[in-house]
Amino acid sequence: MNMLMNVDYDGMIPNNVGLNQDVRVRKALEKWHPGYLDWWQDMGPEGFQQSLVYLRTAVSVDPKGWAKFDYVRMPEYKWGILLAPQVEDRKVSFGAHRGEKAWQEVPGEYRAMLRRLIVIQGDTEPASVEQQRYLGKTAPSLYDLRNLFQVNVEEGRHLWAMVYLLQKYFGADGRDEAEALLQRRSGDPDTPRMLGAFNEKTPDWLSFFMFTYFTDRDGKMQLEALAQSGFDPLSRTCRFMLTEEAHHMFVGETGVTRVIERTCQAMKDAGIEDPNDIEAVRKLGVIDLPTVQKKANMHFSLSLDLFGNEISTNAANAFHAGLKGRFREERLKDDHQLESGTYPVLRLIDGKIENQDVPALSGLNMRLRDDYVADCNVGVGRWNKVIESFNIPFEIKLPHVAFHRHIGEFAAVKADVDGNVISDAEWEKRRIEFLPSDSDREFIEGLMQPQYELGKFASWIAPPKVGIDNKPGDFEYVKIA
Ligand SMILES: [Fe+2]
Ligand SMILES: [Fe+2]
């Protein structure tokens, strides 16, 4: 048996990084732990800290059986530090150091850049827990309530994963950064989280599903790029985080699917054929498809902002240094250095949106974003299959990348969902055609009544096809205290 697969559960912090022998780092983490628990009590799921939740806990990094399911009170969840197994003789696979041995220690010249990458990733993890903090009060079922909490505790664990790297490899400034990660607050005007989408509200469950579909998927892309890192501990951490991340996107994709399915079924039962007859559909206690589309527009566009500027020196530097690679770097067939060559990037040129070939290194953010959009479209296709199966003439479409942007070149203009640049006045007039209006939000909020009865679901969402851990439909996923 591979020693690296063994997880030490004796100490306070389950881990496969030999914390027991690493007194300095263990002490630093034990010192950080109470502050983390205070943060969790203050900013974690409101009102359910004493409830027993049927959660999976990572107990190994073996792909065949890495988690075990059991009832846990969330503050007692085992937030462990788990790295994917070390790949023997691993090499830096891209950038200027391609072919050199992967680093087990921080390369001095890249220390600041690496720390920044880790802190930015780390900051998103607690942010989403803060954003989702009140959703338990309106959960459409115990199944969904449990999934929310599963996502929350795993984002907590992802914070641990990044804090471990900071404490282990960055000395005093790493400790300061670890502390600061507990101090910032999503949406706080004075101490906000670092990235825009993580300061937005997640006010209802459709938003939650869209968030886990679109924004957790940005997380996936960033983790995929960091999993390529020549800094081996970062690569190994991210590889294991991706295993957990898959469930978050599953929650998002199936959540939206179930909303759509319920809406289509209710329309069919009531004999409503026109998906745009919003009033009639809403009377059925389900969410009309045009509003689902507007929510998708909102969360997709906010998530695009997370990929940064179209032309980015930071991205070029991080790639050149061998710290952050491309999506599935190993499958790409080129020199993996990109000192020459170009990449086509959509830009704003003289007020028009046009493709421009830019140096491949400068266009890396957009390359990752293009891969992201392709990945997003897969699930959207599956949503449309559901609508199609009911013969309802409606198709969910992702808006153009210039639509509703706050970062990058398109932040300077207003564009409609098809990417036509429009005037500010026209945007103001048509805004509620593209994005949820106050009355859309009020309608959805009105639907958000908790349904905690065993095996029951709120009016606006279909039950899942299968239970978590193959549990039956009436399983008590959360024992509410
Ligand atoms: Fe995460
Ligand atoms: Fe996530």
Ligand nearest the Cα of residue 121 is 1
Q: How far is the CA of 400 from the centre of ligand 2 (A)?
A: 25
**How many whole angstroms separate alpha carbon 374 and alpha carbon 326?**
15
| Residue written as token pair 């996107």 | 249
CB 215 within 8 A of CB 303: yes
Q: What is the pLDDT of residues 117-158, one digit of tens each?
A: 999 999 999 999 999 999 999 999 999 999 999 999 999 999
**How many whole angstroms separate alpha carbon 219 and alpha carbon 415?**
26
State which residues have CB under 5 angstroms from ligand 1, the bound ion: 125, 155, 158
Q: How far is the CA of 297 from the centre of ligand 2 (A)?
A: 20
Q: How far is the CA of 412 from the centre of ligand 2 (A)?
A: 30
CA proximity to 303, closest of 157, 174, 403:
403
Ligand nearest the Cα of residue 132 is 2
Q: What is the pLDDT of residues 183-215, one digit of tens each?
A: 999 999 999 999 999 999 999 999 999 999 999
Distance of CA 425 to the CA centre of its chain: 34
DSSP H helical ranges for 276-423: 278-282, 289-304, 313-320, 364-389
**How many whole angstroms separate alpha carbon 404 and alpha carbon 416?**
8
Residue range 71-100: mean pLDDT, rounded:
96
DSSP H helical ranges for 72-141: 111-131
The Cβ-side half-sphere exposure at 253, using a 13 Å CA radius, reads 20
Q: How far is the CA of 156 from the centre of ligand 1 (A)?
A: 8
Q: What is the DSSP string of 189-215?
A: SSS--SSGGGGS---SHHHHHHIIIII
Q: What is the pLDDT of residues 419-444, one digit of tens each?
A: 999 999 999 999 999 999 999 999 99
CA proximity to 345, closest of 359, 327, 362, 363:
363
CB 67 within 8 A of CB 56: yes
Give me the pLDDT at residue 2, please: 42
**How many whole angstroms separate alpha carbon 393 and alpha carbon 278?**
14
Q: How far is the CA of 458 from the centre of ligand 2 (A)?
A: 25
Phi, psi of 73 (to 5 degrees): -80, 130
| Cut 0.95: pTM above it | yes
Q: Provide the mean pLDDT of the chain.
A: 96
Q: Label residue 422 exposed, middle or buried (CB < 10 Å: 0-12, 13-18, 19+).
A: middle
Q: How far is the CA of 158 from the centre of ligand 1 (A)?
A: 5
Q: What is the pLDDT of residues 453-462, one digit of tens each?
A: 999 999 999 9
Give me the pLDDT at residue 6, please: 62
